Amino acid sequence: MRLTVVAGAALATALGVRIVRSRHRRFLHPDGRSFPGELEVWGLRTGADLIDRPGRHRVTVRISKGGGTRPGRADVLGLAVRVHGDERDLDLLLSTCGQGRISRHLPVPRRTFDTLYGSILAYRTGTRRKIYLAARPDEPLGADLATIAEGRILLFADDRPFGRVGFGRALPARTDAELAFDPIRNTAPDLHPTGAIHGTRALAYRLSQRWRGARPADPAPGAVERTAAQR
């Protein structure tokens, strides 16, 4: 019992130190690189305009390490794709996951960026259909974040490819630090995360971004309510 208390206290202290140190940087996925790119969509039939309508979109891609481990060490890796829109951006956030029927819905640490990324939880489309998003590099990215310079990534909806993201030279570190993704508010009525867990992330993202001094996404109470209500 005493050992459990000590271990719990140590964990709480470590988390506290991590939070304090994150005052001017991300608490999660602190180490990452961002790139300008383009998303080419060839289309499916899911009920989401972004996925169903063929076209090209300007995007910003961020590849990151969730815990900020040293190069070559396992970590939950992240892939964020911001699809720039005329009125509002759409942020898709994926992380490394298992490849089995069940494990694909669980975050799994990986040593290389050449692996499967998933949305973990479901997205709901305009036809109220639930889909799971995923991504996989179309060409090797490697295991060292610092050496990633360009690449191509395939995007999937329920294991069916619907588009490809191509990206080039990395953006400046300052630009990367100023990016503030929000997968709850930066969504579309016909493509948004759903469920109570996603609902709690709405507050977490807001607090984290304000804590590190980043400009958060514009308010979107309808999007937050839609996600929490699983509509």
- Look at residue 145 and tell me if it is in a domain: yes
Could you tell me the end-to-end alpha-carbon distance of the chain, in angstroms, rounded to an integer? Answer: 44
**pLDDT score recorded for residue 220:** 86
| DSSP one-letter code for 188 | B
- Look at residue 135 and tell me if it is in a domain: yes
Residue 115, number of CB atoms within 10 A of its CB: 16
Total structural domains in the chain?
A: 1
CB 29 within 8 A of CB 64: yes
CATH number at residue 43: 2.40.180.10
- Look at residue 120 and tell me if it is in a domain: yes
Give per-10-residue mean pLDDT for the chain (231 aa).
Answer: 39 39 66 97 97 98 93 93 94 94 91 96 93 96 92 97 97 94 94 78 76 84 82 61
User: Dihedral of CA 174/176/182/187: which sign?
Assistant: positive
Cα–Cα distance, 29 to 85 (Å, whole number): 24
Cα–Cα distance, 202 to 185 (Å, whole number): 8
Per residue in 193-230, pLDDT (tens digit) is 987 676 677 777 777 788 888 888 888 888 888 887 76
Cα–Cα distance, 109 to 96 (Å, whole number): 7
- Look at residue 20 and tell me if it is in a domain: no
Residues in the chain: 231
- Look at residue 4 and tell me if it is in a domain: no
- Look at residue 180 and tell me if it is in a domain: no
Cα–Cα distance, 25 to 177 (Å, whole number): 7
**Domain residues for 85?**
26-172
- Look at residue 193 and tell me if it is in a domain: no
- Look at residue 83 and tell me if it is in a domain: yes
